[in-house]
Amino acid sequence: MTLTQQYLLDTYRAQRLGEPVPPAPGTRDWQLVRELDDRRRFHAVLAGRPARGRLRTALSHLLSSRRSGSLR
């Protein structure tokens, strides 16, 4: 059974039972990839390696705005 066939079967079953329809395949793929990457970076920081990527960028923006006095 293919992924699409399984999804259609699950959708049909959910509609018959009055349950919410499951999300379509691939709907949250990029969110999962970002979360896995954030987790990898978090564990790197715990291991003493420098942070890189989105989290470091967000923290640097936050710290720079606090230094300039725009966030109080």
Beta carbons of 41 and 55 less than 8 angstroms apart: yes
Q: What is the spatial distance between Cα 55 and Cα 70, in angstroms, rounded to a whole number?
A: 20
Query: Over the stretch 19-44, which tens digit does the pLDDT of each residue have?
Result: 999 988 888 888 888 899 889 888 88
Number of separate domains in the chain? 1
For residue 15, the model assigns a pLDDT of 95
pLDDT, the chain, mean: 84
For residue 45, the model assigns a pLDDT of 83
Reduce the DSSP state of residue 18 to 3 states and report it.
coil
Beta carbons of 22 and 7 less than 8 angstroms apart: yes
pLDDT band of 69, cuts 50, 70, 90: low
User: Domain range holding 8?
Assistant: 3-68
Q: What is the spatial distance between Cα 19 and Cα 1, in angstroms, rounded to a whole number?
A: 23
Write the single-letter amino acid at 72.
Answer: R
pLDDT band of 18, cuts 50, 70, 90: very high
